[in-house]
Amino acid sequence: MKTSGKRRSGPLQEAFVAFARAIADPGPDGVPRGEKLEVLAPTPARADEARARLAGLGARVHEIPFGDIWMRDIAPIFVTSDAGDVAAASFAFNGWGGKYDLPGDAEVSMRVAAAAGLRTFRDELVLEGGSVEPDGEGTLLTTRQCLLNPNRNPGLPQAALERRLGEGLGAEKVLWLGDGLINDHTDGHVDTVARFVAPGVVVCMEPSGGGDPNATALKEIVRDLSAMRDARGRRLEVFTVPSPGVVTDPEGELMAASYVNFYVANTTVTVPVYGTPNDAPALKRIEKLFPGRRVFDVPARELLLGGGAFHCISQQQPAGGIRG
């Protein structure tokens, strides 16, 4: 996760603190019982602020410069071996196809890997973490709209890209969806439309009524996922939640709101909500998918103004390191 010096305080910071609290999951005695928090802050002043706001949650704050808050895309992707060793896979970052070139973002991946003290594998493939969704058993979900976009890796054909994903992330089978959500700044990141709940089990969104602006893309995603098999040969079991429907910014522009941009922590799941009638039914369905975890809903409209939600501003690191 990260704190940013570029966005408004108030509701956005409150959402960040609520998210951090859900991940740390303090018990009745106040002692955190969930994940350890590693938080980035771009300046000493913001680092001090983060420590104060997250007091009691066991957060360790790192002063690492960055341009904006999307840790999923600019941080390394942590990978594990069959033996349980953990390493950092650091990919190239080009500002989501050259749209947002902010100082520090391209360097965050290697700096976070160094702070983690892990063996790091550098790959010059342009790849954002939100553009791929692994199941942990060799299957990777993604979208053609993003990964085959010429603004990322021009001239690299699908077959070659699949080989690179196999080499860099251990993907044995890549499952391709089509388009993401309308007005998604990331060119259709998969983490806003489809997520693995468990190996062989995926959740996506269904249109919320006839006026859903993303109805066509969402129906195609449900149809495509239902016909797919994973790297182990299993036909995917597909669950759906309603989409948020129409969520707009202060100027009336449609935003790429998604309930499946949730974050799964060790003991909890944090789900973004937007103040629409679909918040409650979506939350109930997601709760059924994670019976072993408590599910929290946290307002994310302010965060969405920047283009994402809780999965976007986080990056999980498995416990452990490289042995020997």
State residue 172 phi and psi, 5-degree precision.
Answer: -95, -25
Catalytic residue among 24, 312, 315, 317: 312
Nearest by Cα to 38 from 29, 52, 50? 50
3-state secondary structure the chain: CECCCCCCCCHHHHHHHHHHHHHHCECCCCCECCCCCEEEECCHHHHHHHHHHCCCCCCEEEECCCCCCCHHHHCCEEEECCCCCEEEEEEECCHHHHCCCCCCHHHHHHHHHHHHCCCEEEEEEECCHHHCEECCCCEEEEEHHHHCCCCCCCCCCHHHHHHHHHHHHCCCEEEEECCCCCCCCCCCCHHHCEEEEECCEEEEEECCCCCCCCHHHHHHHHHHHHCCECCCCCECEEEEEECCCCCECCCCCECCCCCCCCEECCCEEEEEECCCCCHHHHHHHHHHHCCCCEEEEEECHHHHCCCCCCCCCCCCCCCCCCCC
The radius of gyration of the chain's CA atoms, rounded to the nearest angstrom, is 19
Active site residue 312: yes
Please check whether residue 118 is in contact with residue 75, taking contact to mean a CB–CB distance below 8 angstroms.
Answer: no
- Catalytic residue ranges: 312
